Chain A
Amino acid sequence: MADGTSSGDNERNFILALDAGGTMTDAILVKPDGSFTVGKSITRKEDEARSYRDSVSDAAQSIDMTSDDVHAQCGADIYCGTGMLNTVLTGEGRRVGLIVTRGFDDISTMEGGLTYLGQTQAESLHQQLHRHTRPLVDASDVRSVSERIGGGCYQGNIHLPPGHVLIPLNENHVRDAANELLDRGVEVIGILFLYSFVNPEHEHRAKEVIEEVLKGRGQDIPVVCSADVAPVAKENPRLKSLLFQCFAAEQVRESLLEVEKEAKGFGYRGRLLTLLSYGGAVNMEYPRLYETMISGPIGGLIGAQFVAEQLEIDQLVTADMGGTSFDVGLLLDRRMGMTKTADIAGHRLALPMVEIDSVGSGAGSVVSIDQYRRLHVGPESAGAKVGICFEYDRLTVTDINVALGYVDPDYFLGGQVKLDRDRALSALESEVAKPLGLDVYNAGAGVLEIVNSEMADLLRTMVAAKGYDTHDFTLLYYGGAGPVHMWGFTAGIEFADVITMPWAAGFSAFGAACAEYMHRYDRGLRELIPNDMSQEDRVGCASRIDQAWRELEDEAREEMRKEGVNVDRVVFRYGVSARYIGQLESFDTRLESGNVKSAQDIDDLIQSFEVMYTKVYPEGARFPDAGYSVTAVHLEAVAPKPQPVLGKRELKGEKPSDSAYVGSRDVFHRDAWMQFRVFEMQELDAGNVIEGPAIIRDPMTTVVVPPNRRKELDEYRILHYR
């Protein structure tokens, strides 16, 4: 029987996973034997269903199947779009009306003064570069209403308790605000009150009042409470979560349901899934859909974790270069790093997220020279229009790769799309070479050098910021443009190994296929556990923590049931956020059991916290004398879902078969023309070695092997850069 995570049918043992990037939509079709087929199509932001259809068809054709065949045999279908991120970046989301606690009217403009997100240390040092991010709500669409709830104090129970109502909600203010906002034409209303994560009563009542107003006006628009979207402390990131949900999520949900309709039209019987920013998969009924904001890059990390397990790599850094950005992630001891807040497109959200850092230089990034003759790359991107060599009107990084010979204009998407090299060259000449007074090819090489070095800096910094050195890390690169630029962004950095896959262009989609079906729930608490706490009080504390988990389990079952999941098969993972009393930061502590009932259980919980804490900090940073505080419980609910396998091949000789050799072409590499031999990716066997200068072409990407370096294919056909 089909459920919300899969078709529920053991005979349906294909896995389909798609990653819709800003430029290309990649499809990975995982066959029952664990082998993969990759399909690709141009991403059409205005019609994601069509991109889905084209990409799946492309994958199906390569194994002589039809889209109907694939869907009929599909056990799980995961789709990761960038619709939400694009909505935020382009500012083309819903018109939001925001109602906040009186006195916090400017909160969306102030955004906590966070004006340096995403900057390097050098940039943030030069404060002229600090910028506010474009708000997701117009300042004139913000209203404040009288109400105040207190949150308690860090010293403990010495003053008013957490959640105490200081000023009652003024419902007339709420009605007036709602009417004013609706008169102004807002399409969704968000509510953010202080400390609603402790006591959501005012937010929920305000929502009811607004819904009464809506009913009275005969209107029906979403009303969203911050306590339902991100029930955690700190109003600024909570606001950003609320705004993302309001501005982008509901709108994107509709387009995702269209994609699901497309899949069902082909005969798929399950629910379409997408990825959460912290690694799990959910279907499109998931209420907090903004948590899928950056599902594409997460897929890559999940795939990297899969590869790391297979190849027994402990420390791994990922580099994903697509059309719009270059994303770097880390696996430390094969575990994904997590952050409690997510920095996305200049916003900091209250959202647990797999730790990924980005720079805005992708293959589609626009290249320009300003009036001061300074070169700029990005952040604007041509997206699916590729560049001036295809359907875009400005010079992009891909144009330069085409002009210099790295990318074959006649073999883009395996020749489905013909690129115009002459137009690319001409634009490079007029837009870059002439303003800088350079020869056109050297100008192109200079641009690539800058793009590559920016990416290299990010790789170095990301590893260094964790206190590690790149020598200890294997670099796994992917994305359509990753293999084209690898030679550049790894130059001057020493890694333990540098690897990629034949299906690098679709790696994020492959990773999505590896994801668990999982929800995460967080519930804020204010449980203080001083050292002199009585046994009786400890039992009381245990009871409240335990109760919170039970409630979250019920919530998880209810949500998953609505998503069509067989809840009998759901398993739970438990954790708490804890700290020493007085600390501001809480530390996630995973627990073996979700049953905390006795005083001893509290002691065990504290012991788990201490073990976790001393893994991160030296002994001198412990402060058990202060006592402990549990500030949140969290729960991961996991439902079973089909998984792919990675198959081994028999090792062949180093020399590729004659059929792999396609020919040769001239490439302007660094500062001179040289001849690169060209090989066909799909003709290469495990054990083959490709000496540079060479290009390994594939319909989805181009692997550039520079002079004096080579690529070796291991038994998984993973390519190692030597």
Chain B
Amino acid sequence: MALDYRGSQGGKTAAVPGHRTLRDSVEERDRTTAATGHYYGVTELTLRDSDPIKYERFYARLHSAVLAARESARFVAASPGSREMGECLWGLTTPEGDTLAVSLGFLSHTAIFPVSVRYMASKDYDVNDGIDDGDVFAVSDGLTGGVPHPGDFYTFVPIVVDEEVVGWSVGINHLMENGAPVAGSWATFSVDTFMDGFVCPPMKTGTKLRQSQWWKALWERRTRAATMNILDDKMRLAGCAMIHEATHRLIDEFGIDYYKRAIREVIEESRRMIVDNIKQTTVPGTYTGCAFRLVKYKGLQNIWSHADKNTLIHVRGSVEPGQEGLSLDTEGSSKWGYHSYNATPGGTDCAVFLGMINSFGHNTKVTAGIDLAIERNYPSGSIYNPDNEYTSNANLWAQTIAINSVGFNAVNRAMFSRGYLEEVFSVDGNWGAFQGAGTTEDGTSYGFTNFEWLGGTGRGAYCYKDGEPLIWAAWSQIATIGDAEEFESTVPPLFYLGRKLLKGYCGHGKYRGGVGNSAVHWIVQPGKHVALTRPNGGLSCTTAVGVGMSGGYPAPSSFMISARGTNMSEIIAEGGETPRDARELLEMVDDGRLKVENLEIWKTDCPELAFDENDLFVDAAGASGGWGDPLEREPSAVIEDLNEGWVTSYDFVKNLHGVVATQNKEGEWQLDESSTVALREEMRNKRRQESVSVFDWWSNEREKVLKKDFVPEVNQMYAESLSFDKFDREFRDFWQVPEDLVFENEEE
């Protein structure tokens, strides 16, 4: 077929002494960009301006190649996430790894392309032992590849012309099993990179558009889902081969000189458009946000004594739109630690570009222009840029989604200030997933991940309307939750008893967020063993990412329930009703219909949970935050929520919104208007009575700060965050505390 290897028409890079190396290309790119403020020193878009039709045709060809690669190659996949849920992406880059075009999918992964290529350049891969056209490279390491967590795997295929790398085709997808001590694709409870599973720095795994046989052996021996992972690997390579071939044809048609110039202009053009978008849609200023994550490892890490503790991670970000683009500063965030939530600069870029592309890049060519228009500061030693090369990155993505949510909400406030009301909403990154491994009765072992709730979440409220359920995912432009019939087929003993919206599970306000989702899984014939963990991919421990906007409440966090030792067999034998979602399960336990010997609700990482016949596992995720004061919600909207079942407790909404209602004989709720007016007035009066002045609040809180009157985890968090100068200044200025007030860092 047309995609077969064309032969080494490019020539191996090392073949010619003195050839232009990758290192040369990267150095020239950085030097010219820094000197001029324009990508690669491109101050004039000469190709575009002299023949715009040809220029657009050139780009359309590039873009079509990557679009087509995804639309064909994803069907090779074995994992539902890649085939349907948008958990894959293909792209084409410059020789330096700067993005030229991407397919549909989780496109912020473009951020890692230059990290991997620069690593290869810095280590002279093209000199020893050389890079040939159609070679195949694999990457999954956070530090050297910028990968947002080890479960994401990347395939790079170089495009070589005249012994020079002129581009890379790249394919990415999220694996279902990654071969770590904790089965699945997020190595929960890792304390360093050696527990992160099957992690590869950029390494050559094949030639001539085919993988080597030894590579297959690695999947088979180092992961628990070899067939699935091999097929996903083939999927990535299939798409890369299509892009590789299309790019060679493009170069044949347009000529290498045109190609080399045009790829620079494309990136510079999109950089300019993004900067213009930022200037046109935001009010300049500093927009700061923060969030907190609790890592509960105490008691679970007996073997690794240095990791046996709880940690409160401070997530802090400031966004400043300006004349040359936008800057993001994470100074003040906690330091790295012996847990799985450490990030890397590349991985952090991958997350923070989500909101930036959504807000400023959607109407441009999606290229490395976003990288040039957004200046980032991830201080060395912080959780976003550890000064230790062995940190675990297993849950990097969860941590970086936290900073994306902070940044995305900051951008939304900047756009709200400018009057783009229909653009902005309360952003959350509230997902859930589960993973594990098992062995069937006949001895067959398997590993799995079910990340259906990464495939869609509710959207937070706007300033003028409610959010909607299951309508978007911050991390993928084309997310879907897939089908239960497909997820179920990947885990032999797990069967769905419910896959629903969880009514009332949202942040409330004048406008409420879209409700989240909940699924019930039933264990039938577990065989010799089946066990799950919850990778805390969701921000269940992050108490305030979805802070709600303008007085609205944040979204409730994701959680899960394990119900072990149940009377399910009796319920089914008697033709009874089985639980359909998290709320119903807890109600059935409360009223005795469902008997459970061991019921646990997990709002943080849970250790491996082994399940037996008729046990139940329930999760809930995807809730979103509200906007505005709940007392300002239109009473008729509250009544509608009650009658349509979007909220489940009248007492709750009465106390929240100050709305009084009665039920008629058909059970329909009807507004009691005068009582509502009276109750709202009463609630407002109570607020006034209970409120204190800002000065009094500040004074009282300051006393606590001076006394360091906090639990150890908070003291430790302050010690780490205050080790960064900028946050230390902000903190001392705000609380007006002396220089000698020091929070002891127990790590030092």
Enumerate chain A interface residues (CB-CB to B < 8 A).
Answer: 102-107, 109-110, 112-116, 121-128, 130-132, 139-140, 144, 146, 148, 150-155, 158-160, 166-168, 170, 172, 194-195, 233-237, 460-461, 463-469, 492, 494, 580-585, 587, 614-623, 625-626
Contacts and interface: CB of A to CB of B under 8 A. Distances in A.
Given A128-B423, A194-B485, A106 B64 contact: no
Interface in B1-59: 1, 3-4, 53, 56-57
A131 B514 CA distance: 13
A593 B399 CA distance: 56
User: Ordered nearest first, which 3 A-B pairs have the shortest CB separation?
Assistant: A464-B64, A103-B498, A113-B456
Interface stretch (B328-336, B473-481, B533-541): B473-481
A468 B249 CA distance: 11
Given A112-B482, A153-B489, A621-B235, A584 B241 contact: no
Contacts of A109: 469, 501
Nearest to A494: B57
A106 B578 contact: no
B78 A159 contact: no
Nearest to B85: A113
A158 B490 CA distance: 12
A616 B456 CA distance: 31
Task: Output the residue of B56, B425, B495 with the most chain A CB within 10 A.
Answer: B495
Contact of B425 (A128, A166, A467, A619): A128
B377 interface: no
A105 B500 contact: yes
B353 to A, nearest CB: 12
Given A125-B358, A132-B471, A110 B477 contact: no
A582 B228 contact: yes
A584 B83 contact: yes
A466 B577 contact: no
Contacts of B705: none
10 contacts: A140-B644, A154-B490, A159-B440, A194-B484, A235-B484, A237-B483, A465-B67, A585-B83, A621-B238, A623-B230
Interface string B474-516: 1001111111111011111101111111000000000000000
Given A103-B497, A465-B67, A626-B230, A620 B211 contact: yes
Interface string B122-136: 000000000000000
Nearest to A152: B489
Given A463-B64, A465-B68, A125 B572 contact: no
Interface string B236-259: 011001100010000000000000
B525 interface: yes
A133 to B, nearest CB: 11
A617 B580 contact: no
A617 B74 CA distance: 11
A394 B358 CA distance: 34
A127 B501 CA distance: 20
B478 A620 contact: no
Interface residues of B, number: 101
Contacts of A139: 644
B4 A619 contact: yes
B78 A584 contact: yes
A102 B477 contact: no
Given A146-B575, A464-B63, A103 B76 contact: no
Task: Output the residue of B228, B234, B241, B644 with the most chain A CB within 10 A.
Answer: B234
B104 to A, nearest CB: 6
Given A102-B580, A112-B456, A584-B77, 4 more contacts: A126-B362, A158-B440, A582-B78, A583-B75
Nearest to B61: A469
Interface string B589-623: 00000000000000000000000000000000000
B470 interface: yes
Contacts of B1: 614-618
B161 interface: no
A632 to B, nearest CB: 14
Task: Output the residue of B490, B517, B575 with the most chain A CB within 10 A.
Answer: B575
Contacts of A114: 480
A155 B577 CA distance: 30
A185 to B, nearest CB: 15
Contacts of B231: 580, 582-583, 623, 626
Contacts of B477: 116, 121, 124-125, 127
A580 B233 CA distance: 14
A113 B64 contact: no
B107 interface: yes
Interface string B409-453: 000000000000011010000000000000010101010000000
A616 B468 CA distance: 39
Contact of B525 (A146, A160, A195, A468): A160
B227 A618 contact: no
B120 interface: no
Given A114-B480, A125-B362, A583 B76 contact: yes
Contacts of A103: 496-500, 520, 578, 580-581
B472 interface: yes
A722 to B, nearest CB: 18
B685 to A, nearest CB: 38
B80 interface: yes
Given A130-B471, A617-B73, A620-B211, A234 B491 contact: no
Contacts of A153: 488-492
A1 B578 CA distance: 59
Nearest to A586: B75
A626 B75 CA distance: 16
A688 B11 CA distance: 54
A55 B231 CA distance: 54
A149 B527 CA distance: 19
Contact of B501 (A110, A125, A236): A110
Nearest to B365: A122
Contacts of B425: 128
Contacts of B459: 127, 130
A617 B73 CA distance: 7
A158 B80 CA distance: 20
A522 to B, nearest CB: 16
